[in-house]
Amino acid sequence: MPANTLFEAKRETATVTEAHEGGPSVHEMSRRGLLDHLTKIGAGALAAAMSVGGALPAIARAQAAPASPRPTRRKFRYGMVIDTRRCVGCRACMVACKAENKTPPGVFYTVVFDHVIEPRIDDKPLFLTKPCFHCEHPPCVDVCPVSATYKREQDGIVVVDYDRCIGCRYCMTACPYSARWFDFDENYPAVEQETRYAEVPSPEYNQFRRRESGKSPVGNVRKCHFCMHLQDENGEYDKAAGRWPACAKTCTGKAIHFGDFLDPESEVSRLVRERVAIRLKEELGTEPNVFYLL
Amino acid sequence: MYPFDERTGRRRFLKVLGAAGAAAGAGTLPGCASFGSKEHELAKDAVAKARWGREAGAWIPSCCNMCGGQSGILVHVVDGVVEKIEPNHWNPNNYSNISSDFFDGYSEAYGCKEGGVICPKGNAGILQLYDPDRVKTPLKRRNPERVPGADPQWQEISWEQALDEIAGKMRALRDAGDAHQLLWISEDHSFTHIQDDFCKLFGTPNYGVHSNLCDVARKASFKVVMGHDRPLADFIQAKYILLFGWNPTSATKWIFLPRIITRAIERGARLVVIDPYLSDTAAKAHEWVPIRPATDGALALALGHVIVRDELYDREFVQKWTVGFDRYRDYIRDKTPEWAEAITSVPAATIERLARELAATKPALVDVWSGPGQHSNGVQGGRAIAMLNTLVGAWDRPGGMVIPDKRGEKHTEVEPDERAEHTLKQARFDELEKYPLGHKSGVYTRLFSNLAEGGGPYAAKMLMCIFQNPMMSVPGTPIVARALARLETVVVIDTMMSETAMMADYVLPGTVYLERYDLNSHWVTWPVLGLRQPVVKPLFGQPAEYEVVAALGRRLGLRDKSGKDFFRTGPLSGAPLEDLTAWYEDYLSNELKKGAPGITLEQLKSLPGAVWVDRGGTKYEKYAEPIPTGKLAVAWFDGDRRADGTAVYDRPKDRGGRRIGTVIGGVPVTGFATPSGKVEFFSAKLAEKKDALGRAVDPRPVYAPRDWQPSPEYPLFLINWKETSHTHTRTQNNPWLLDIKPENPLIVHPDTAARFRVADGDTVVVESPYGSVTARVATSRRMHPEVVGLQHGFGHWALGRQARGRGTSDAALRPATADPLSGMALHKETCVRLRRI
């Protein structure tokens, strides 16, 4: 990765981090400081591609599953294909994620943007949801000083080991997509004021941690893990049994497709093959496993 | 230590190092610059997973009530705590309103092929249940002064005391022969039947529900045109969708809407949205047509003008299935696109083009909701819009406007005793009978303005207000406040301390939908009935609302005509049932057994997803179905058996016959449920009516400007709308929903902002002749330059700690007025100016 691009990425995510620390919600953030965020995270390519209709600029042509899977223990390559034509901007994914992972205020594993991408006479917004992209070459992983965050060999999911994370937030600055969040020990009233809901632990990583001040994941960096706790012992999801990422399960427009890119017959592989699919900031070489359909 | 922040109290560095080393024994030395993170095993807690995981506890099927949409839900309950709410795949309301789409790939094991969905509110229901600000005990007011802002000086009282005292006040009214002086209002999707029963047995004609704050103008428009008050758009099969003032992919009245609309576009449909604001639905449309508020009817007439002028209409349908086309054609002859351009601000060339697209694309549909409806000319405008469906032959056809088969549970009407019968004959306090197209939900604006001004047919004394917040939801907050102050007794049942609850004499803790029962016949096009059931016990031991109603009925000893002790006798079993819940379960079983499902409550619970789905599915062109031979053999004809338009009854009209159809084209068919049995371009019945202001009603779908127009002093239209993030005024204390929508800025076009010298982010005073409020400005070219607007529901001064002080309520900027035809509250008829502070 060219050093200057990484630097730029760091700088812009730092802006985002500041906004988080001030405690405003995502929506306020999107209205205020992050107006250009979408363009910065690479949706400019998306806008450009859309403006030329069917003819797609070469830069935006995304590669489907890699030509030759790595000869490792890799069993799956989990990822998402998000259909921007189906996303209605309802934000059910954001709330379903909160309900599933019990994330605290200020932590959103996915965020819905409604920015005006293409300046037009009418400020028409483009909706899209942005989870962690679980990149093939995740810059966030490379910078972790304690090996707390890593990309799983078997399925490519980028995880955080809360028992190791020291909360230094290098990874947050390294992520070009602002997909990582710091847990500042804030709590929703239902947790803070000891309703029975405060008893409910987060199922993340099958660790079922009950929220407690001073204990992980408070003080850790947190991120989307494709609801990894819903995998069975073979590492497989099961949509019919409800073991499927919460955002995809609730998506009101059925815009979020989830699956395995190593399986050429999977819905996600087929969609990337058959439709115009792009990835954000393709030029960084991060190779996100989340594609957007135009 | 640099990575750590003492302020937020995170743990210490060394502790982490110790934990990390112990957990993994990884080769990496923590803290060293070992770039390139290594994989290792994560800790797991199998014991906690066995207790809390998806396989633990129970997944209970039920129905949501975060809004009136009634989506199916699956609720994960562990040890009496709600852990998660997910979509219910067996409930069509979560997927599609058309049976062929729902059953395509359906399996009993999984439900609908792609799985159901729920909206952000449905996902956030947990925090509604576990809101620490909920009302927990019955409260009695000690401060006699009932004005907004006054401390009510609440006294916590027992349920016994509360019910005894409330029943006592009711008994006093009834004993004095003044039962009709009890007013009763409630939400319109929950436990309405038992409240209706109570009011009848008690003897008050004054039961009203929420609908007249919502869509009764639309109901009236469609009812006049084609005889059904809520046809449903078959989006997924449509190829051209023209929407007037509706935001269905965001104001998700039903959660299947985002899927079936985006899917329609995928399958080649063109979506055009007419709205003063580029709504989130307009953001998905091929074309947004900005329009001046309350001029939609004029646009619809001009579209009709082009379609008729160029003979693009469905000639066959119009000839066979309609009446009054000549009168309509005469009326629209001069309603040219140029005429409409001056009124609507939509260019004439656009109108010409839209009309041709609409008429040339099949199947096409035209739908309208509360945008155009909540103005004083809403009903007639809605008629003009609905009429476009007639011109393109969209009624009850695939891809058109389908008449739903609403068979579900059966509400057995109670027979009141003689004393109740006597007071039931009194006029309604809200003077509903004066509204020629009024809806049984009543006229809230009239109810409150009559109270405030001492008007109405008599003096009302007591109000039961269940799950309603008129202080914010009825136009004219100061009028509602005065109205409440004039009542002798106000009782509010709610889960939250709403603005209205703060004005009450008694506040009883209500139940969240996860704590109670309901039957929901859904808004799809074929018969479907879902169960809402308690998944946890009411958190504070409170009785559910229907149990409060029954408990009051018992205290009052209400009996029906036959002398039956109504609220103690199981309606199905006929046996005495002391336990309130058991009694209500029997009540629901009775409604199910006598209704279309024909099963008991227990049987409904055991169906997949706890939803009864009629396998017959969606039927089209029901109006053309011949009357079955069996019925025909005994039918009675109101005229010549062969003549077009002869009404057909199941037995002679003078022997209480019910109309079952009409002779059309020489054949007795079901027809449309209008007086003529056909779609009516011209309503002879309306011609005989007077509106609530005593004016003659035009039988044609005329355009007349709404009453309140911008003036030099108040030059801007003010509108409001709904989005998926919140429901009415009741979810603004829910933190997850505040995360996605924390306030409601006033959207102002940049040119308009410049004109009023305000900038993005400024706080402004919004002033009308009726009041002023402050709002934060967000400039956007999504708004028509002559209009400002905001999402409805914010601006609380009560409700809860999270809700207070966020955003703006515009209810104080308008009078408590209703449309004089349907009684629809005029939420959008307001003109304002902006002043920077």
Which of B43, B114, B780 lies nearest to residue A207, judging by beta carbons?
A: B43
Q: Where are the alpha helices (DSSP H) in B322-453?
A: 325-332, 337-344, 348-360, 370-373, 378-391, 418-424, 444-453
Q: Which residues contact A149 (CB under 8 A, 6 or more apart)?
A: A140, A141, A158, A159, A160, A161, A165, A171, A221, B37
Closest CA to B549 of B136, B209, B202, B204: B202
Enumerate the residues of chain A whose CB falls inside 8 A of the CB of residue B23: 161, 163-164
Which of A27, A85, A144 lies nearest to residue B740, judging by beta carbons?
A: A27
Which of A122, A149, A151 lies nearest to residue B782, judging by beta carbons?
A: A122
Angle between helices B296-309 and B348-360 (to 10 degrees): 60
Predicted confidence at residue B1, as pLDDT, reads: 29
Enumerate the residues of chain B whose CB falls inside 8 A of the CB of residue A104: none
Enumerate the residues of chain B whose CB falls inside 8 A of the CB of residue A150: 37-40
Direct distance between the N- and C-terminal alpha carbons of chain B, in angstroms, rounded to an integer: 45
Interchain proximity A185–B801, CB inside 8 Å: no
Interchain proximity B127–A88, CB inside 8 Å: no
A176 preceded by a cis bond (ω within 30 of 0): no
Interchain proximity B82–A197, CB inside 8 Å: yes
Predicted confidence at residue A43, as pLDDT, reads: 56
Residue with tokens 């393709």: A282
Secondary structure (3-state) at B368: strand
Which of A145, A201, A252 lies nearest to residue B52, judging by beta carbons?
A: A201
pLDDT band at A9 (very low <50, low <70, confident <90, very high): very low
Q: What is the CA radius of gyration of chain A?
A: 18
Interchain proximity A121–B115, CB inside 8 Å: no
Q: How far is Cα A256 from Cα B595, in angstroms, rounded to an integer?
A: 39
Which is it for strands B787-791 and B716-721: parallel, antiparallel or unpaired?
parallel
Exposed e or buried b per residue across B422-448, where buried means at least 16 C-beta atoms within 10 angstroms of its C-beta: ebbebebbbbbebbbbbbebbbbbbbb
Which is it for strands B462-466 and B489-494: parallel, antiparallel or unpaired?
parallel
| A60 contacts A84 by C-beta, under 8 angstroms | no
| B621 contacts B397 by C-beta, under 8 angstroms | yes
How near does any CA of chain A get to the CA of B355, in Å?
Answer: 23
Interchain proximity A200–B81, CB inside 8 Å: yes
Q: Where are the alpha helices (DSSP H) in A53-179?
A: 92-101, 139-142, 170-174
Interchain proximity A89–B283, CB inside 8 Å: yes
How near does any CA of chain B get to the CA of A64, in Å?
Answer: 22
Secondary structure (3-state) at A79: strand
Which is it for strands B771-779 and B746-748: parallel, antiparallel or unpaired?
parallel
For B657-669, the DSSP string reads: --EEEEEETTEEE
Vertex B518: Cα angle to B517 and B521 (nearest 5): 155
Distances A269 to A285, B137, B266, B667, B786 between C-alpha atoms, Å: 20, 56, 19, 56, 48
B61 preceded by a cis bond (ω within 30 of 0): no
CB atoms within 10 A of CB B265: 18
Q: Which residues pair with B768 in a beta bridge?
A: B771
Interchain proximity A124–B782, CB inside 8 Å: yes
Q: Which residues pair with B233 in a beta bridge?
A: B401
Q: Where are the domains of chain B?
A: 1-43, 139-214+409-513+540-580, 216-402, 622-687, 716-836
Which of A195, A215, A252 lies nearest to residue B119, judging by beta carbons?
A: A252
Interchain proximity A161–B23, CB inside 8 Å: yes
ipTM, 2 decimals? Answer: 0.94
As a whole number, mean pLDDT of residues A178-190 equals 97
pLDDT band at A210 (very low <50, low <70, confident <90, very high): very high
Predicted confidence at residue A72, as pLDDT, reads: 65
How near does any CA of chain B get to the CA of A5, in Å?
Answer: 18
How near does any CA of chain B get to the CA of A262, in Å?
Answer: 21
Which DSSP symbol is given to A66? Answer: -
Averaged pLDDT, groups of 10, chain B, 837 residues long: 34 36 37 61 96 97 96 97 98 97 96 97 98 98 93 98 98 98 96 98 98 97 97 98 97 93 98 98 97 98 98 98 98 98 98 98 97 98 98 98 96 96 98 98 98 97 98 97 98 98 98 97 93 98 98 98 96 96 98 98 98 97 96 94 96 94 96 98 97 97 98 98 96 98 98 97 98 97 98 97 97 97 98 95
How near does any CA of chain B get to the CA of A158, in Å?
Answer: 10
pLDDT band at A24 (very low <50, low <70, confident <90, very high): very low
List the structure tokens of B341.
């351009």
Interchain proximity B78–A200, CB inside 8 Å: yes
Secondary structure (3-state) at B232: strand
Domain B716-836 matching CATH 2.40.40.20: the answer reads yes
User: φ and ψ at A80, to 5 degrees?
Assistant: -130, 150
Contacts of B323-329 with CB under 8 Å at 24 or more apart are B323/B645, B323/B676, B323/B678, B323/B679, B323/B680, B323/B681, B323/B682, B324/B680, B324/B681, B324/B682, B324/B683, B324/B684, B324/B699, B325/B681, B327/B681, B327/B682, B327/B699, B327/B700, B328/B304, B328/B387, B328/B681, B328/B682, B328/B700, B328/B701
Q: What is the CATH number of domain A3-293?
A: 3.30.70.20
How near does any CA of chain A get to the CA of B527, in Å?
Answer: 23
List the structure tokens of B661.
């159809």
Interchain proximity B8–A184, CB inside 8 Å: yes
Q: How far is Cα B716 from Cα B709, in angstroms, rounded to an integer?
A: 9
User: φ and ψ at B116, to 5 degrees?
Assistant: -75, 175
Secondary structure (3-state) at B343: helix
Q: How far is Cα B418 from Cα B26, in angstroms, rounded to an integer?
A: 85
Predicted confidence at residue B37, as pLDDT, reads: 72
Which of A90, A189, A252 lies nearest to residue B735, judging by beta carbons?
A: A189
Q: Strand runs (DSSP E) across B645-726, as ranges?
A: 647-649, 659-664, 667-669, 679-680, 716-721
User: φ and ψ at B712, to 5 degrees?
Assistant: -55, -35
- Give A125-169 pLDDT, tens digit per residue: 999 999 999 999 999 999 999 999 999 999 999 999 999 999 999
Closest CA to B589 of B611, B576, B573: B573
Q: How far is Cα B76 from Cα A249, in angstroms, rounded to an integer?
A: 15
Q: Strand runs (DSSP E) across chain A, as ranges?
A: 78-83, 111-113, 128-130, 149-151, 158-160, 180-182, 221-223, 256-260, 277-278, 290-293
| A107 contacts A220 by C-beta, under 8 angstroms | no
Sheet holding B462-466, edge to edge: B155-156, B139-140, B506-509, B489-494, B462-466, B182-186, B207-209
Interchain proximity B10–A219, CB inside 8 Å: yes
Secondary structure (3-state) at A180: strand
pLDDT, mean over chain A: 82
User: φ and ψ at B778, to 5 degrees?
Assistant: -125, 120
For A164, nearest residue in chain B (alpha carbons): B20
CB atoms within 10 A of CB A60: 22
Q: Please give the torsion angle defined by the CA atoms of residues B413, B415, B416 and B417, in that order, rounded to the nearest 10 degrees.
A: -170
- Give B352-409 pLDDT, tens digit per residue: 999 999 999 999 999 999 999 999 999 999 999 999 999 999 999 999 999 999 999 9
Q: Where are the domains of chain A?
A: 3-293
Class of the CATH-defined domain B139-214+409-513+540-580: alpha beta
CA B399 to chain centre: 23
- In this prediction the pTM is 0.92
Give the number of A-B residue pairs with CB atoms closer than 8 Å. Answer: 285
Which is it for strands B771-779 and A128-130: parallel, antiparallel or unpaired?
unpaired
pLDDT band at A41 (very low <50, low <70, confident <90, very high): low
List the structure tokens of B271.
């979506």
Class of the CATH-defined domain B216-402: alpha beta
Q: Which residues contact A108 (CB under 8 A, 6 or more apart)?
A: A26, A94, A97, A98, A181, B739
Which of A26, A164, A201 lies nearest to residue B23, judging by beta carbons?
A: A164
For B577-619, the DSSP string reads: --SHHHHHHHHHHHHHHHSSS---HHHHHHSGGGEEE-TT---
Q: Strand runs (DSSP E) across B123-176, as ranges?
A: 139-140, 155-156
Closest CA to B834 of B700, B666, B718: B718
- Give B765-823 pLDDT, tens digit per residue: 999 999 999 999 999 999 999 999 999 999 999 999 999 999 999 999 999 999 999 99
Mutation to test the B interface, candidates A6, A146, A175, most B Cβ within 10 Å? A146
